[in-house]
Amino acid sequence: MKKIIIIGATSGIGREMAKIYAEAGHLVGATGRRQELLYTLQLEYPNNIITHCFDVTADDNIYHLKTLINKLDGLDLLVYNAGYGDVSETVDWEIDKTTVNTNVKGFIEMIDYAFNFFEEQGHGQLATTSSIASVRGNSWAPAYSASKAFQSVYFEGLYMKLRRMKIGIHVTDVQPGFVDTKMAKGNKRFWVAPPVKAATQIVQAIEKKKWRVYITHRWRLIATVIKWMPDFLFHRIG
Ligand SMILES: NC(=O)c1ccc[n+]([C@@H]2O[C@H](COP(=O)([O-])OP(=O)(O)OC[C@H]3O[C@@H](n4cnc5c(N)ncnc54)[C@H](OP(=O)(O)O)[C@@H]3O)[C@@H](O)[C@H]2O)c1
C-alpha cells in the first residue's frame, strides 16, 4: 500500500486519480478548496481517502503538506495537480496573479518540500500535471502556457539531477491535451479525453516511472508538430 498525496483532487483528473488509487488499496491524501467535494470523496472511500482542505495560493502550504504527511503517516508519491488558467483577452493581472500563484508558487513550494523529504527517506515519486500548452507560448493565455512551461522545465531539470544523484526518486511530467473538465476552455477543442481515461493513463505512466507522458498518448504528435513548427507559421496560429 502506497501513501499518496494529490494536490487538487476535488474534481476532474485529480479526483479520478484519487479514486483509482483508492480502489487499488492505496492510502490517498486528497486536497482542494471545496470542502463538500472532499467530503463526498471521503464518503466513497472511507478507509482509503483522507482529506485536507486548503488553498495553494495562500502562505501556509508547507504547514498543510506536513500535516497531511503526518495524517498518512508517511509519503511515497506526491502529485501536484492543482491548476488555474483562463483566457485573457487583455493582459489581466488578476488572471495572471492567480495563474502564477497556483501553477508556479504553490507548485514549487510543495515539490521542493517533497523532494527534500524523499531525499532524506531515500525513495519517493513526484508527478505534476503540466500541459501541452507548456510546449510554446500562446496568445490566448500567455501566463498559463508560461506557468506550465515552468513546471515542465523544472521537472526536466529535476529528472537530470536525479539521474546524477543515483537515488530512488522518480519524477513524471504529465502533459495533457484536452480533457473534459472545466479547465478545457476554447471552442476549437479536439481529441477531448474523459477525465477517467486521462487519470488511468497518468497512473500507468507514474507506475512505469516515465519522466514525461502525453495524455492521451496521441498528443505526443501535436507536441512534436508544435515544437518544430517554424516561427513564421506558429506565430500566425498560436
Ligand atoms: N482539462 C484540460 O483540458 C487540461 C489540459 C491540460 C492540463 N490540465 C491540467 O490538469 C490539472 C487538473 O485540471 P482539471 O482539468 O482536472 O480541472 P479541474 O476539475 O478544475 O481540477 C483542478 C483541481 O485543482 C484544484 N485547485 C485549483 N486551484 C486551487 C487552489 N488555489 N488551491 C487548491 N486547489 C486548487 C481544484 O480544487 P478546488 O477548486 O476545490 O480548490 C481541482 O481539484 C490542472 O493543473 C490543469 O492545468 C488540464
- Gap between the terminal Cα atoms of the chain: 44
How far is Cα 24 from Cα 108, in angstroms, rounded to an integer? 29
180: Cβ–Cβ under 8 A, 6 or more apart, which residues? 192, 193, 194, 195
pLDDT value at position 79?
99
Mutate to test the pocket of ligand 1, among 6, 36, 111, 129 (most ligand atoms within 8 A of CB): 129
Residue type for position 207: E
Kindly state the helix (H) or strand (E) to which residue 6 belongs, with its residue range.
Answer: strand 3-7
Q: Are 169 and 126 in contact (CB under 8 A)?
A: yes
Question: Which atom of ligand 1 is least distant from the CA of 195?
Answer: 16
pLDDT value at position 238?
80
The Cβ of residue 101 has, within 10 Å, a number of other Cβ atoms equal to 17
What is the mean pLDDT of the segment spanning 221-230? 96
- Residue 178 Cα to ligand 1 midpoint, Å, equals 13
pLDDT tens for each residue of 65-107: 999 999 999 999 999 999 999 988 889 999 999 999 999 999 9
* Closest C-alpha to ligand 1, atom 48: 183
What is the mean pLDDT of the segment spanning 157-182? 96
CA 217 remoteness from chain centre: 17
Task: Please list every protein residue whose CB sits less than 6 Å from any atom of ligand 1.
Answer: 8-14, 32-34, 55-57, 81-85, 102, 129, 131, 176, 178-179, 181-184
Question: Which atom of ligand 1 is least distant from the CA of 148?
Answer: 47
Mean pLDDT across the chain: 96
Question: Which atom of ligand 1 is least distant from the CA of 9?
Answer: 43
Look-up: residue for cell 508517511? 74
- Residue 231 Cα to ligand 1 midpoint, Å, equals 30
Residue type for position 10: T
The answer, yes or no, to whether residue 187 has pLDDT greater than 80, is no
> What is the rounded radius of gyration, in angstroms, for the C-alpha atoms of the chain?
17
* Closest C-alpha to ligand 1, atom 8: 131
Report the CATH number that the domain containing residue 22 is assigned in CATH.
Answer: 3.40.50.720
Secondary-structure percent of the chain, ordered helix, strand, coil, rounded to 5: 50, 20, 30
19: Cβ–Cβ under 8 A, 6 or more apart, which residues? 41, 44, 45, 199
C-alpha cell at 72: 498518512
161: containing domain: 3-237
Mutate to test the pocket of ligand 1, among 6, 13, 140, 144 (most ligand atoms within 8 A of CB): 13
Domain count across the chain = 1
The Cβ of residue 100 has, within 10 Å, a number of other Cβ atoms equal to 20
Of 5, 230, 225, 219, the C-alpha closest to 110 is 5
- Residue 230 Cα to ligand 1 midpoint, Å, equals 31
What does the longest C-alpha to C-alpha distance in the chain come to?
55
How far is Cα 163 from Cα 178, in angstroms, rounded to an integer? 31
Number of helices (H) and strands (E), helices first, in the chain? 9, 7
Q: Which residues carry out catalysis?
A: 144
Question: Which atom of ligand 1 is least distant from the CA of 176?
Answer: 6
pLDDT tens for each residue of 16-61: 999 999 999 999 999 999 999 999 999 999 999 999 999 999 999 9
49-53 and 27-32 strand pairing: parallel
